[in-house]
Amino acid sequence: MSAGHIFSRGGAERVRIARGQGTELYDVDGRRYLDAAGGAIVVGVGHGRGDVARAIAEQSAQVAYVHGSMFATAALEEYAEALTAHLPMEDPRLYPVSGGSEALESALKMARAYHLARGEDRHIVIGRDGSYHGNTLGALDVGGRASLRGPYEPWLGAARHTGTPYEYRCAFVDTHPEGCGARHAQALESLILELGPERVAAFVAEPVAGAALGACVPPADYWPAIAQVCRNHGVLVVADEVMTGFGRTGTWFGSDHWGLRPDIMTAGKGTASGYWPLGLAIASGEVHRTITAAGSFVHGFTYSHHVVGATAGLTVLRILEQEGLVEASARQGERLAGALRRELDGVAGVGDLRGLGLMQAVEFVADEATKEPFARSAKVAESMVAACRERGVLVYHGTGGADGARGDLILLGPPLCITDTEVDEVAGVVGEAAREVLAEAQG
């Protein structure tokens, strides 16, 4: 269907969606799709929630917009108070924005402002190879996706990068799997010392690598060792929880799996479950106090601290709490992982299955023994998306994880309200699609 005057994202033909309910979407012709990707791993509480829509409408009817630099609102204050109980931080302070990229930009500025307030001119930020943190320039620079950075390289270059835990393709072949976290921490410390600790402001990473590398879970010793290196050198830990937050990995936040207490956090996607463009940059009490004691935070957006966004966020938060959806994510994540293992057992070309909670990935390879990826021309990931969609299941795909160009995977992140029957349907369709697509790719 023609996009008319819309500047579309990509060139693929799009299905026009008419409505959604729970885990299901229906197009204008009435065809049903099981949304096993939650859009872009966004939808947590499910589609078609009348309670969220009503809360947004009621708040909009009372007051839809006031400028955050001049006015306070009860909705935002209530939301911040309610969310605090779930955040893995001491005395947190919320800076609401319009999405994950804005949240990351805000977090970078917080880190810079914190060090300036302490009389230190730290400005270098360290990200990780292969990572994704958003498409605004600061977020793109911290990210390590060459395909996304390429056109804009002349505008980038302030950030530096270290390795990412990718246990299926571990860089430390001589010692893997023992002590991988310690080796990553040593690499980070070496980079900090090379750059000069007095110049390094922050280390930015997702607790579990998201779409870019496909639900790569770090070894158990990774985050404790990384956090200690950062603390030793006065480097702030910024946890990007845009994809891993709000129950996606089976805990409230991905950081919870390792007891990580970040100095700054970002959130988005599941924050308002797609009902409102809501992101959060969250500072620990120490970071907030240090910044504000030195004066105002030189930063802001027209739509930050939005009253309707706060209402949407609070309503989604209450649903997650009252319906036990974080616990459901852990439970259904185990079921999905088990079902995928059964369906894909013995299928040639399936390299790795990994993930936490309802964030699961399948990586495909041309040679299972050597882990050689398929040629990019084979478009295995894209073919998997198409084959699953033909069977009524929507999945998300990723490419380039193996070497920056090659590497095919699909990522599953359905709404946390997915049922047992629907989990089994997703796994069954993925199995059917994989057998078809991989057989064709291998000739």
Residues of the chain with CATH 3.40.640.10: 63-322
**CA torsion, ordered 92, 95, 99, 100, to nearest 10 deg:** -50
pTM over cut 0.85? yes
Q: What average pLDDT values come out for the chain (443 residues) when binned by 10 residues? A: 77 87 98 98 98 98 96 97 97 98 98 98 98 97 94 97 97 90 98 98 98 96 98 98 98 98 98 98 98 94 97 98 98 98 98 98 98 97 98 97 95 98 98 98 91
Token pair, residue 288, equals 């907030």
- What are the backbone angles phi and psi of residue 69, rounded to the nearest 5°? -80, -10
- What are the backbone angles phi and psi of residue 265, rounded to the nearest 5°? -130, 150
- Taking CA atoms, 401 is separated from 132, 212, 216, in Å, by 11, 7, 10
DSSP E strands, 8-52: 17-21, 24-27, 32-35
Task: Return the pLDDT at 2.
Answer: 59
Fold exhibited by the domain 17-49+324-441: Aspartate Aminotransferase, domain 1 (3.90.1150)
Fold exhibited by the domain 63-322: Aspartate Aminotransferase; domain 2 (3.40.640)
Token pair, residue 294, equals 């030195």
Residues of the chain with CATH 3.90.1150.10: 17-49+324-441
Give the integer Cα–Cα distance in Å for 379 and 406: 10
* R_g over Cα of the chain: 21
Token pair, residue 334, equals 């185990």
Task: Return the pLDDT at 246.
Answer: 98
* DSSP codes joined into one string, 127-142: EETT----SSHHHHHH
Q: Which amino acid is at 353?
A: L
- What are the backbone angles phi and psi of residue 99, rounded to the nearest 5°? 165, 180
- Taking CA atoms, 336 is separated from 36, 156, 225, 322, 376, in Å, by 11, 39, 30, 23, 28
Give the integer Cα–Cα distance in Å for 61 and 219: 49
Token pair, residue 196, equals 């000069």
Burial 159-194 (b: 16+ CB within 10 A, else e): bbbbbbbbebbbebeeeeeeebbbbbbebbbebbee
Could you tell me if 136 and 105 are in contact, meaning their C-beta atoms sit under 8 angstroms apart? yes
- What are the backbone angles phi and psi of residue 224, rounded to the nearest 5°? -60, -40
Q: Residues 6 or more apart from 35 whose CB is under 8 A from it?
A: 20, 23, 24, 25, 43, 47, 394, 414, 415
Q: Which residues pair with 202 in a beta bridge?
A: 125, 236
> What is the β-pairing status of strands 93-97 and 32-35?
unpaired
**CA torsion, ordered 191, 123, 242, 304, to nearest 10 deg:** 180
DSSP E strands, 77-214: 93-97, 124-128, 160-162, 200-205
Q: Which DSSP symbol is given to 102?
A: H
Q: Which residues pair with 19 in a beta bridge?
A: 26
Q: Residues 6 or more apart from 148 whose CB is under 8 A from it?
A: 132, 135, 140
Could you tell me if 41 and 248 are in contact, meaning their C-beta atoms sit under 8 angstroms apart? yes
Helix segments in 162-306, DSSP class H: 180-195, 222-232, 285-293
- If one counts every other C-beta atom within 10 angstroms of the C-beta of residue 405, the result is 13
